[in-house]
């Protein structure tokens, strides 16, 4: 006699042919994720194609000279990208040289030295700086930082460093307050929260036993940071610096307020200059001629290429760091 329960049991062939519900969703899930990835690639290629097509008239007209000349005259339809490209690179380098040590120092202080009751409030305050709109940084730089630098800091730099051979050329001229150095300092302040946030997370991921072992053999806090924390978190720190550099390269409004927006090259960091993003923000709506508009789009294409080169450089640094750690 068969019981009622055994009569209702699944047959072996039915159990073998039944498809789990998770397996049914696996293929659609794979297609959706692949479509999302392809959408990002397609958007990137579309932007690159539009920039390349719209900038073609400028490159046909000026050729390679567009990259090595600084003339920018909409009246005579003469354009060159050297001044904004140089300004973009110089301000970004200044931002990294000033902002990176400060950001890493902040991260080490919060993780290793700061009292526990102050650690979270200070970390939140630093991260909130990343939420401040760039135009606020620009207004603060124009009305507060630039006058302060022009009255008290730049005159001292001109007096003490200006006469020094070679290096002194970077700090000569009238102390306007606005200029390339001021823009670089504003960018440094803006990238500190990004780098510090990433650095704090990667330094906090260092295994506690490494810290304890270093302190156990008599290492100081400086020695622990120098020989344990930073080498172990090198990959993450490089990623944080590249994140800040990407922000510095593309920043627009804050730089536009304080850089002076002058289409000319100068050896002095105290003189007004310009960047690619500042030129696009100031002149794109006023571009009346086809060649003028094409030259502005060509600047955008150059900025795209520079950012892409920075990403490739970051990947190369990470790969080199991985090879050294093996």
Structural domain spans, the chain: 62-325
**What's residue 255's pLDDT?**
94
Distance linking the first and last C-alpha atoms of the chain: 69
pTM of the prediction?
Answer: 0.86
Confidence of residue 145 (pLDDT cuts 50, 70, 90): very high
Structure tokens at 308: 């892409």
Structure tokens at 248: 């510095």
Q: Which residues pair with 73 in a beta bridge?
A: 78
- Exposed / middle / buried, residue 18 (Cβ in 10 Å: 0-12, 13-18, 19+): exposed
- Exposed / middle / buried, residue 60 (Cβ in 10 Å: 0-12, 13-18, 19+): exposed
Q: Mapping DSSP to helix (H, G, I), strand (E, B) and coil, where does residue 64 land?
A: coil
pLDDT in tens, 216-273: 888 888 999 998 999 888 888 988 898 899 889 988 899 999 999 998 888 999 999 9
pLDDT in tens, 82-106: 999 999 999 999 999 999 999 999 9
Q: Output b/e per residue, 263-282; b: 16+ Cβ within 10 A.
A: beebebbbbbbbbbbbbbee
CA distance 73 to 268: 23
* Section 38-65 average pLDDT: 93
What dotted CATH number matches 62-325? 1.10.3720.10
Q: Which residues pair with 79 in a beta bridge?
A: 72
CA 157 to chain centre: 28
pLDDT in tens, 156-185: 999 999 899 989 899 998 888 999 999 999
């Amino acid at each position: 006699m068969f019981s009622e329960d055994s009569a209702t049991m699944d047959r072996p062939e039915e159990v073998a042919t039944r498809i789990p519900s998770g397996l049914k969703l696996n293929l659609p899930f794979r297609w959706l994720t692949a479509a999302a990835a392809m959408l990002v690639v397609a958007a990137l290629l579309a932007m690159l194609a539009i920039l390349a097509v719209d900038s073609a008239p400028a490159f046909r007209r000026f050729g390679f000279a567009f990259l090595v000349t600084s003339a920018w005259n909409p009246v005579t339809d003469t354009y060159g990208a050297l001044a904004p490209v140089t300004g973009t690179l110089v301000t970004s380098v200044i931002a990294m040289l000033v902002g990176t040590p400060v950001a890493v120092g902040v991260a080490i202080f919060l993780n290793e030295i700061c009292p526990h009751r102050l650690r979270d409030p200070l970390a939140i305050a630093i991260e909130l700086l990343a939420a401040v709109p760039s135009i606020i940084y620009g207004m603060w730089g124009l009305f507060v930082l630039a006058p302060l630098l022009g009255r008290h800091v730049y005159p001292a730099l001109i007096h003490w460093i200006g006469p020094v051979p070679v290096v002194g050329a970077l700090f000569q001229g009238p102390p306007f307050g606005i200029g390339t150095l001021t823009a670089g300092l504003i960018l440094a302040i803006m990238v500190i929260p990004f780098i510090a946030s990433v650095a704090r997370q990667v330094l906090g991921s260092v295994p506690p036993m490494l810290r304890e072992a270093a302190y156990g053999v008599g290492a100081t806090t400086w020695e622990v940071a120098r020989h344990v924390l930073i080498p172990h978190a090198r990959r993450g720190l490089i990623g944080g610096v590249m994140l800040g550099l990407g922000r510095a390269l593309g920043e627009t409004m804050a730089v536009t307020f304080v850089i002076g927006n002058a289409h000319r090259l100068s050896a002095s960091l105290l003189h007004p200059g310009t960047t690619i993003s500042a030129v696009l923000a100031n002149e794109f709506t006023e571009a009346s001629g086809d060649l003028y508009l094409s030259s502005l789009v060509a600047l955008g294409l150059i900025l795209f290429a520079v950012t892409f080169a920075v990403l490739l450089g970051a990947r190369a640094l990470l790969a080199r760091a991985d090879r050294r750690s093996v």
